[in-house]
Structure 1
Amino acid sequence: MSTASTTKDVHFSLLGPLRLSVAGRPQRLPKGKQRSLLAALLVHANQDVAVDRLTEYVWEDDPPRRPRAVLQTYVTRLRHTLAAAHPGLCTAVETTADGYRLAPPSESVDLLRFRALVAQARRHNQNQDLAAEAEVLTRALSLRSGPFLSDVRSAYIQDTVVPALTEEWLSALERRSELDVVTAAPTTELIADLRGATSTHPYRERFILLLMRALADRGRRVEALDVYASARQRFRAAFGLEPGPELRQLQVQIMRGEPPR
């Protein structure tokens, strides 16, 4: 019987703290370097990850004298940990020509499910089915359970992987917010959400633009222009730059009383 057919109740979480649950029950995972190793293998689930790359994830610029041997020990321990959590995971960590591969079923890893849903949303967009696109993106965004990989003590993961995951997430959130703005009258809740997004990510111009459009659509032109003025002040103070052309054009449209589309 294949691993995939025996691990339907296994779930790995990367879109939040690193977690493994079986039938809804949290399982004990290793700490320290072994946790970093597991996170690295899961980020590249179903892909070969070379020893040199894993060494970067686990030790960054300060590896042991024999990283390959130490990694082999960590992998052995990780295999025992996964097998103890679920027998179907006993062969999940595979040895490859130059490293290792963690091969869980795609549906058991939240990051893989998220990416599959985002790809499905793009197909709905190509078919001009915006309602279906919005519904699928909502499902994708609901997978987040907290700050990404917040309990993994790897500088490489925190400095490289987490920003990349955050960018994927924010792109999906921007698109979902855009659909809310363009397909229906913006609600007070949506405006509050966009204010929160611009506060958390003050230099994401897409969130600023969507907030301005939502406010203008509700007839709150002065507030929309105030959002622009505040953003312009932030950009000039931090970088000596003006907002991008889309924001500048939207400001002009709102000042003229034109529909912000």
Structure 2
Amino acid sequence: MANLHSYVSNLRRTLEPHRPPRSRDNVLRREATGYVLAADPQSIDAVRFEQLMREGRRLLTAGTPRQACRTLERALALRRGCAHPEVSDYSLGAQVAARYEELWSLALESYWEARLAEPGDISVIAAELSALSTRFPTRERFHLLLMRALCSAGRRAEAIDTYHRARRVLADEYGIDPGEELQRLFQRVLCGEPTSGRGSSRFTSWTSDVSVSPAP
């Protein structure tokens, strides 16, 4: 019990470093059933991140990529390492951590989709997307965005190579073919058709099809 009180005391000092000694605890309170964390939701990075991520994706779907990019950039800036590493060894903690990792990946995909829809150095964007498709080889969205960026830069052969690389990874990892959207894009690239890259209203239509489950 002494150890518990010591942990709580240290945690209170961390949460409220400027609280006067012996004053009422405003964040970590003791009640009849135990301790209650009563923090303002807006002071919790995970809450702010999810709000900004959802707003950024809404702006992207609404066809305002510049505002979406700014909002998603603010969301991504809240990340500090992996989600909840201190509780990832527990079942519920692992579920929460996995959920926020997925939300972060969705925010990152949406951010680069917004960047690609805005004016800018397409070669730099393609380089960033190439690194992301290597870092997350099983996330089809990064391969698709990279193909669009490469086509916008006039590098159609590299876009074709990107598709084949994604196909091999998915086959090796899961024994599956690329999804329909990636396959359709590949066919358009082969035929020299427009790939709905920069500035296209069709470019952001996918965001409305992706659901985000609420926190458990």
Instruction: Classify the TM-score, shorter chain.
Output: 0.7 to 0.9
SS in 1 for 2:79: coil
**Structure 1 residue 167 corresponds to structure 2 residue 96:** no
- Please name the residue that 2:153 is paired with: 218
Matched, 1:84 2:21: no
Note if contact 2:57-2:110 (Cα within 8 Å) is conserved in structure 1.
no
User: 1:143 is matched with which residue: 72, 75, 78?
Assistant: 78
> What does residue range 90-101 of structure 1 map to in structure 2 within 5 Å?
90-94=25-29, 100-101=35-36
Matched with 1:109 is 44
Comparing both chains, which one has the higher relative contact order based on Cα–Cα distances under 8 Å and sequence gaps of 6 or more?
A: 1
Question: Residue 188 of structure 2: SS of its match in structure 1?
Answer: helix
Partner of 1:196: 131
Q: Which amino acid aligns with 2:12?
A: A
How far apart, in 1, do the equivalents of 2:12 and 2:167 lie? 55
User: CA shift at 1:187, angstroms?
Assistant: 2.1
TM value normalised by structure 2 = 0.75
Q: Which structure 1 residue ranges, 5 or more long, are not aligned?
A: 1-69
Q: Is the 8 A contact 1:181 1:214 kept in 2?
A: yes
Q: State the alpha-carbon separation in 2 of the partners of residues 186 and 226 from structure 1.
A: 22
Paired with 2:32 and 2:55, the residues of 1 have a C-alpha distance of 33
Contact 2:52 2:72 in 1 (8 A): yes
Residue aligning to 2:170? 235
Which residue matches 1:14?
none
Q: Which residue of 2 aligns with 1:181?
A: 116
TM-score normalised over the length of structure 1:
0.64
Contact 2:122 2:152 in 1 (8 A): no
Unmatched runs of 5 consecutive residues or more in structure 2: 197-216
The aligned counterpart of 2:204 is none
